[in-house]
Structure 1
Amino acid sequence: MKVEIAKKHSGEFIELHSRMITRHGLITGATGTGKTVTLKLLAEKMASLGASVFLIDVKGDLNSFGEVGKLTSGLEHFLQKHDLEAPIFQKFSTLYWDIYNELGLPIRTTVMDFGPMLMAKLLKLNANQTNLLHTIYQIADDEGLLLLDFKDLTQLVKHLYDHNKAFEAEYGTLNKQSLGAIQRALIASDIDVFFGESVLEIKDLFLKDGIINILEASKLILNDKLYSAFLLWLLSELYEQLPEVGDLEMPKLVLFFDEAHLIFKGIPEVLLSKIEQVIKLIRSKGVGIFFISQSPSDIPDSIMAQLGNRIQHGIRSYTMKDIKHQMIPKEMLEKMKKYGVGEVSISVLDEDGVPTPFEEAVMLTPSSLIGKFENCNYYPEEQLNQKYRTPIDRNSAYEMLLKRQKNQVVSEQSTTKKRTRRGRKPDSMLTKLTKSLFSSFGRSLGTSLARGIMGTLKKY
């Protein structure tokens, strides 16, 4: 199947092949050149094919997919200028999400699910602190400690700081300086809103065929650490949970990641290599990804190489690096400096997966309402409202650790200096109590915990 997305100067239409959407894409351009409207158009085209869509609304003006479009004077002028016909106005099924639970259903995950790799990025830990965080997660995994929200992790780190010697025989040195740094990072962070229950079930992004999921991110984008980590977590969850489906005629899900440069800002090489791997393999799950940013140079070379469909709006200036990244002749880049709103240089994959030459064109216009809709109903699904809106605070590591601390008085003075026949010190009272504390939890998680490519917990 094909969908028309742009019109060449010659009058021919540029079509996007549905089988090539999972080869991913890129939308770039300077501020005010029309990237948001292009994102909206592509989201509608994907939904019209029956694919689910998940997009990020960083400016708060993409909440109007559920409203029928109309012919405004501005739209009429644009259509006349470029000799375009008005679209068939319609609305689309929409679902709204918001990590802060203000303009949509909250999205949450647990600290345990999130994993140490992404948590280290979120907390901006150095290499030594990151290694220690992996050990902390391992202790929690081994002992069946449920790390659900931030206070669970904070309490466990505090406990390990106070009793680090009791764990060194099995886990090696738990450096108190690094433990203290992790404690401070946890206390100082403003990202705890994302952690807890009920956890997002990926199947709810596929509530209906052709549904458009909109993440309200005008507040989230102000916290670039959380924004970046959230997108990486979502990508990881989709990869780990969706089944292999091969090369589909139509995608199952299309993601639009706006302000994509934030994903890669200050990213460690080890994590970047994991992202490259996920993006390469996730197409076999029926998922396509479009990155939106101001310049192709915002995207690492290894990621750019995997983006087959490219729509590039007007630019203000360019460098030699831009020429390399954009793979557009210098002459065309000069023309792009004069592009008006909606005018693009575009290259898409043909039906054989071969990139077409870049051509000048103008993007078609969306069918739903353009701009912010003031009377939006952000909670249309009552069943999902009941499932997600009220947080759940289960008995977990925080409560268990506090209870045991209240019931047991740990005294270093009772530590015996007697040695066993092998010359090893017998367990001190501190160690005995700590071991008793953790063994009393049992392996409440039930199974051995396995983690995926990006360190998030695999679901069985």
Structure 2
Amino acid sequence: MTDTESMLQDGKIFIGTSFDAKGARLKGEYLDLKFGNRHGLVTGATGTGKTVTLQALAEGFSDAGVPVFASDIKGDLSGIAAIGQPKDFLQKRAEEIGLTPYVNDAFPVVFWDLFGEQGHPIRATVSEMGPLLLARLMNLNDTQEGVLNIVFRVADEQGLLLLDLKDLQALLANVAENAATLTTKYGNVAKATVGAVQRQLLVLEQQGGDKFFGEPALELADLMRTQRDGRGVVNILAADKLMASPRLYATFLLWLLSELFETLPEVGDVEKPKLVFFFDEAHLLFDEAPKALIEKVEQVVRLIRSKGVGVYFVTQNPIDVPEEVAGQLGNRVQHALRAFTPREQKAVKAAAETFRPNPELKTAQVITELGVGEALVSTLEAKGVPSIVQRTLIRPPAARIGPLTPDERRAAIQKSPLAGRYDEVVDQDSAYEMLARKAQETVAAEQASVEADAGGFGGIFKTIFGTGAGRGKTLSPTQTIARDVTRTVVNQTAGNIAAQIGKSIAGSAGSAIGRSVVRGVLGSLLKR
């Protein structure tokens, strides 16, 4: 195999070239775009070449006109936006696998960042996130999750929009204040439980959650853009800082998956995916996750392919992904694993057993012998059948291997077609403002009622508040009693206001107006 045409085929992404046990070149290994939405798995120990493989796959999808969304844990993936440099070791690899000529290139990239520092801000509303994922995000127990569901139900019934964290905090305070009334309708609503949820909200705010929940919210169409030349845009999420809050990272990516599932129409089998999603450090999605949540993830992964979305998990250890999910991943690239500890030996065995056997390879042994940039590859072929596993040298990326400089990243963000669209926070009228107005109206009503009841005592309010004609005048015993009653009512009402809105967490406002807040993330699946 010497000609370039045999290496680069229409409708397929070139992954690398396989070799037999004697080192003789066998054939090119490809990922068929028709099966790109059948998901995949890229695994291997640190330093074995997973990130380079991810970049090569992202470049292939982009060239094929498929938009990509990928999390960038270390910042290395950002180099895909810059043209590669013709280095000797890359040229040598290209010649080894028969990739001639080897041409360097850069790819269209949009940078994103939940904190708005290394890319366009990404925001979602509290109602879009929904009680299930919020409970997961805040690590709530069953009782606390139950109260959170009640809060969402109350918001839905009273038409209160939950857009940001201060909306949720205000409504939690309101629910605590009216716990006795709500308990008879929804079950026990303990103020102590509400307080525990409020404390977890404070932790979430400190982790940067207040920057994530707000508006303008992310439009999914902005993740599915293509260039005029037909290439798909590579959306890169800066996740180096986000990894300090692993629960926020995992919950955000699961939310994004579920939003895609909820929003995109059914398309069935397609010639190529509508979007490909790379989930690096995938084990974070499943660490300490309850069984019910894992089941929902498995449902999303199984069903989202009919929406034309491919999901590719990237992780160090193949056993990090539960069997229920791993069974849905048809395209596999396995880099080297170590086998020193019992757990590592179990991982090697599990990885070997997932491949379609190759009689010429001792798969479990080869996994521990693979070099950097070398992997075992098996992809779906005709009729969706996995190919026989082959030992493969992975192709070198066309773009830069390594991160952009800070100046290069800033320039890319400024030139982005989405520049200015998400940068400024928009604060809309929502639950926080609605509850504040309601509290003010209550105060006014109470004042008017007391004033009417004390109508025979002219100037009572002026006297009470020390203003106007009443200032400094001696009150009769009856007037003194009326004054004290009025002050008590006003103080109690003001206390109610403080309980409702005084503890609110400062945050940006959100979107999804008019949307049922109880649907939330995975809503349609929860009804199944």
Name the TM tier (shorter chain).
0.7 to 0.9
- The Cα offsets for residues 257-297 of structure 1, whole Å up to 9 and x where unpaired, read as 00000011111111111111111111111111110000110
Distance 1:92 1:75 in 2: 18
Partner of 2:434: 400
Distance 1:17 1:83 in 2: 19
Determine if the alignment matches structure 1 residue 6 to structure 2 residue 74. Answer: no
Q: Which secondary structure state, in structure 2, belongs to the residue aligned with residue 283 of structure 1?
A: helix
Determine if the alignment matches structure 1 residue 146 to structure 2 residue 146. Answer: no
Return the offset for 1:168: 2.4
Distance 1:72 1:127 in 2: 56
Distance 1:152 1:452 in 2: 16
Matched to 1:149, the amino acid is D
Partner of 1:320: 346
Question: Which residue of the other structure, out of 205, 224, 231, is the alignment partner of 2:246?
Answer: 224
Q: Quick check: 1:255–1:288 contact (8 Å CA) kept in 2?
A: yes
- The Cα offsets for residues 138-184 of structure 1, whole Å up to 9 and x where unpaired, read as 11111111111111111111221222113223322212221111011
Distance 1:58 1:201 in 2: 23
Q: TM-score, normalised by structure 1?
A: 0.88
Partner of 1:369: 400
Determine if the alignment matches structure 1 residue 346 to structure 2 residue 377. Answer: yes
Question: Which residue of the other structure, out of 317, 334, 337, is the alignment partner of 2:368?
Answer: 337
Q: Quick check: 2:132–2:521 contact (8 Å CA) kept in 1?
A: no
Partner of 2:477: none
Distance 2:386 2:237 in 1: 31
Distance 1:40 1:366 in 2: 7
Distance 2:292 2:427 in 1: 34
Matched to 1:323, the amino acid is K
Q: Quick check: 1:258–1:293 contact (8 Å CA) kept in 2?
A: yes
Determine if the alignment matches structure 1 residue 249 to structure 2 residue 271. Answer: yes
Unaligned runs of 5+ in 2: 1-10, 20-24, 450-491, 501-511
Unaligned runs of 5+ in 1: 415-428, 438-443
Matches within 5 A, 1:170-185: 170-185=185-200
Return the offset for 1:394: 1.4
Partner of 2:487: none
Most deviating of 328-337 and 292-301: 328-337
Q: Which secondary structure state, in structure 1, belongs to the residue aligned with residue 402 of structure 2?
A: coil
Matched to 2:334, the amino acid is Q
- The Cα offsets for residues 357-384 of structure 1, whole Å up to 9 and x where unpaired, read as 2111110111111111212324245662
Most deviating of 329-338 and 354-363: 329-338
Distance 2:63 2:434 in 1: 50
Q: TM-score, normalised by structure 2?
A: 0.77
Q: Quick check: 1:114–1:457 contact (8 Å CA) kept in 2?
A: no
Q: Which secondary structure state, in structure 1, belongs to the residue aligned with residue 71 of structure 2?
A: strand
Distance 1:269 1:292 in 2: 21
Q: Quick check: 1:312–1:346 contact (8 Å CA) kept in 2?
A: yes
Matched to 2:135, the amino acid is A
Distance 1:445 1:219 in 2: 30
Matched to 1:29, the amino acid is G
Q: Which secondary structure state, in structure 2, belongs to the residue aligned with residue 388 of structure 1?
A: coil
Task: Describe the shift of the 1:112–1:231 C-alpha distance in structure 2 as closer, same or farther (beyond 3 A).
Answer: same
Distance 2:219 2:387 in 1: 38
Partner of 2:418: 384
- The Cα offsets for residues 385-441 of structure 1, whole Å up to 9 and x where unpaired, read as 322001111122112223333443499xx9xxxxxxxxxxxxxx99xx99xx9xxxx
Distance 1:246 1:252 in 2: 11
Task: Describe the shift of the 1:81–1:48 C-alpha distance in structure 2 as closer, same or farther (beyond 3 A).
Answer: closer
Distance 1:43 1:185 in 2: 37
Determine if the alignment matches structure 1 residue 360 to structure 2 residue 382. Answer: no
Q: CA RMSD in A?
A: 2.6
Q: Which secondary structure state, in structure 1, belongs to the residue aligned with residue 193 of structure 2?
A: helix
Return the offset for 1:221: 1.4
Partner of 1:441: none
- The Cα offsets for residues 60-84 of structure 1, whole Å up to 9 and x where unpaired, read as 1111222221212342454466665
Q: Which secondary structure state, in structure 2, belongs to the residue aligned with residue 5 of structure 1?
A: strand
Q: Which secondary structure state, in structure 2, belongs to the residue aligned with residue 395 of structure 1?
A: coil
Question: Which residue of the other structure, out of 116, 119, 126, is the alignment partner of 1:111?
Answer: 126
Partner of 1:423: none
Determine if the alignment matches structure 1 residue 451 to structure 2 residue 519. Answer: yes
Distance 2:26 2:101 in 1: 15
Distance 1:94 1:382 in 2: 8
Matched to 2:17, the amino acid is K
Most deviating of 72-81 and 170-179: 72-81
Matched to 1:301, the amino acid is E
Identity of aligned residues (%): 41
Q: Which secondary structure state, in structure 2, belongs to the residue aligned with residue 289 of structure 1?
A: strand
Partner of 1:192: 210
**Which structure is larger by alpha-carbon Rg, 1 or 2?**
2
Q: Quick check: 1:30–1:313 contact (8 Å CA) kept in 2?
A: yes
Distance 2:376 2:151 in 1: 49
Question: Which residue of the other structure, out of 113, 116, 126, is the alignment partner of 1:101?
Answer: 116
Q: Which secondary structure state, in structure 1, belongs to the residue aligned with residue 114 of structure 2?
A: coil
Distance 1:161 1:17 in 2: 55
Return the offset for 1:445: 5.5
Matched to 1:212, the amino acid is V
Partner of 1:205: 223
Matched to 2:302, the amino acid is K
Task: Describe the shift of the 1:392–1:383 C-alpha distance in structure 2 as closer, same or farther (beyond 3 A).
Answer: farther
Q: Which secondary structure state, in structure 2, belongs to the residue aligned with residue 146 of structure 1?
A: coil
Q: Which secondary structure state, in structure 1, belongs to the residue aligned with residue 29 of structure 2?
A: strand
